[in-house]
Every structure is written in C-alpha cells, then in structure tokens.
Copies of this chain bind each other. A is one copy, B any other.
Amino acid sequence: MERSLTNKNSSCNEIEACHNLIKKHIHNTPILTSRLLNEITGANLYFKCENFQRMGAFKMRGATHAIMKLTNTERQKGVVTHSSGNFAQALALAAQSLNVKAYIIMPSTAPNVKKQAVIGYGAQIIECEPNLMARESMAKKIESETGARFIHPSNNYNVILGQGTACLELMDQINDLDAIICPVGGGGLIAGTALAAKYHNSNCTILGAEPYEVDDAYRSLKSGKIESNNSTNTIADGLKTQLGDINFPIIKNGVNKIIRVEEQEIKDAMLLIWERMKIIIEPSSAVAFAAVLKAKNEFKNKKLGIIISGGNVDLKNTHF
C-alpha cells in the first residue's frame, strides 16, 4: 500500500523519517496469518512478527533510532541504559552495529543467560542492586564518568518513534485494518503504534493488552495520571515497567482502551501460538493474543493486526 499523503503533521513526518533512517539496520519482519486461529477467533488476524526481528524483539527498532539520532560527538562517548530485558540486548546490538560503545546497567540478580547475551553483543555490563533507585543512580554515575548518553528503554521520543515502525510496516502491507493490538509494558511500543496509525491517517483503533497482575496502564488511562504496580507477579516479564511522562500523553491521545487478561489466559494463548503457528513468542507477546481470544466477540469479522513483540524465552525454564 502507498502511504497516505494527506493530513501529515510533525509526528507523521518524523515516523517516516525514522523508518527511512533505520530500515537498513533492522528486519522488515514477516506478517503471518493462520487459518486455524482465524477460525477460533472469528476475525482476520495479521501477526506482525517482531520475534523474527534482530535480537528477537521490536526493541531493536527504538534502540537503533535513538543511537542514530545522536551527533557524531555524542556517539563517540557511547550510550547507557538500565534494563535486564530485551532493551539491554537491543541497545547492545544496535550500538555494536553502529560502532558505538554501550554500557548496560543490570541488576546483580539478572539471570546469567541474559548477561551472556548482552556480553555477546559486545556491551559492557555494570551491575547494581536490584531496585529502581540503585539503577537510576548508577546510570547517572556512568553518564557523568563517561559522557555516555542515557537512553531510556521506553520513555524516550526517538525510541517511541522507532518502535512505531513495526506498525508502520504492518499498515504499509495490510490495508484497512480495523484495529491493532499490542502489549503494554513501559509504553514505548503502544505509543509508537499510535503515532504510526496516525501517520497512515486511518480509522484503525489502537488497543493495548495487559496482565491483570500489572495493569498500571489500564489504571492510568482511567485515572488520567501515571499509576504504578505494587506487585509484578506475572509471567509476562517484559510488561512489569510503568508508563512515562513522554509516552503517556501520546497513549492518552491515541489509544482506545486496554484489555486485561489473567495469567492462565496468557499461558493458554502462548501454547496455542507455539502449537499451531510453530513460532516461538514470549509471554509478553501472548498477552496481546490472549486479549483477542478473550474479547473475540468484539473482533468478529474484523481485520485485526497483532504485534508479536518478541520471542526471547528461556526455553530451559519454560514448561506448559
């Protein structure tokens, strides 16, 4: 599909520019369909498979964009972030690809397999105590000592634009989607998705999906201010973080609603996709499909895009 040329505003031009900038460094991931899952849901589902993205998740898009928007002088000093999840690997790999030094702050309790993946992409790990205050103060310390630029995993406008390019590619290929659904963690993906849908000037509804156990975005949209989670007892380990002051206004403006799902629904949805589509998706991605299964009456005969956010799973510790 040709991109719509009407009603461009600044964020529209920005997302197109972002995609042009990063597209050589990322995969334009495949969009899969499944006859069986269409039958089960009664909808026409288009799975945008970011599990096939480089390093296994959409985070590669935002990390790449954030680094590419730095000046040459800034790039020489490197980048720093705090993450024990996909953004750690994403920033490490994007930095390696762009020949930039990356410092990744990880909690001392992070699984060895995650540390090894970051080291494998050539980044330097700095360990800290496993709490928010410790990692934020460590990030400031690294910034001041090295001059490296801090890149937040989700609350950074260039990261948000980058994440939106998954939706942009989806809408470039699939016309007239009635809705797009994606999981909500820190809010970068859904904010970017909302910006990309606006770019395409479509009437497509943007929906989020969250576990009940970490429904901070659901509650934030209800209350109108950023809410946090008292506990984070979910298998969707990518969705434990909260929204930020940069992505929340975009989400309030562009997201229709958040559908919440139970832990067992997440597991069932993940098993169904593994079994039937023969692809590995991570629990956070299964949250979006679980929401579709749960609310399938709303989606009957609709064209629905589902952003499969990633496929990084610790297979040795995954049991159905």
Taking CB atoms, residues of chain B closer than 8 Å to A311 are 278
Q: Which of A126-134, A237-245, A312-320 contacts B (4 or more CB under 8 A)?
A: A312-320
Check A274/B278 contact, CB under 8 A, given A315-B320, A319-B319, A320-B316. Answer: no
- Size of the chain A interface, CB-CB below 8 angstroms: 16
Instruction: Using CB atoms, name the residue of chain B closest to A34.
Output: B52
In angstroms, Cα B278 to Cα A316, docked, is 14
In angstroms, Cα B51 to Cα A274, docked, is 11
A280 in contact (CB, < 8 A): yes
In-complex Cβ contact of A278 among B51, B275, B319, B320 (8 A):
B51
Chain A stretch 262-320: residues in CB contact (< 8 A) with chain B: 271, 274-275, 278-281, 311, 315-316, 319-320
In-complex Cβ contact of A280 among B52, B280, B319, B320 (8 A):
B280
Contact B271 A315 (CB under 8 A): yes
Contact B315 A275 (CB under 8 A): yes
A254 in contact (CB, < 8 A): no
In-complex Cβ contact of A315 among B52, B56, B274 (8 A):
B274
Taking CB atoms, residues of chain B closer than 8 Å to A319 are 319
Taking CB atoms, residues of chain B closer than 8 Å to A279 are 278-280
In angstroms, Cα B202 to Cα A178, docked, is 48
Contact B278 A52 (CB under 8 A): yes
Chain A stretch 17-40: residues in CB contact (< 8 A) with chain B: 30
In angstroms, Cα B271 to Cα A316, docked, is 9
Taking CB atoms, residues of chain B closer than 8 Å to A271 are 315
In angstroms, Cα B314 to Cα A319, docked, is 11
A270 shortest CB reach to chain B, Å: 10
Taking CB atoms, residues of chain B closer than 8 Å to A320 are 315-316
In angstroms, Cα B302 to Cα A255, docked, is 49
A48 shortest CB reach to chain B, Å: 14
Contacts A/B (CB < 8 Å), 18 sampled: A30-B30, A51-B278, A52-B278, A56-B278, A271-B315, A274-B280, A274-B315, A275-B315, A278-B279, A278-B280, A278-B281, A278-B311, A279-B279, A279-B280, A280-B280, A315-B320, A316-B320, A319-B319
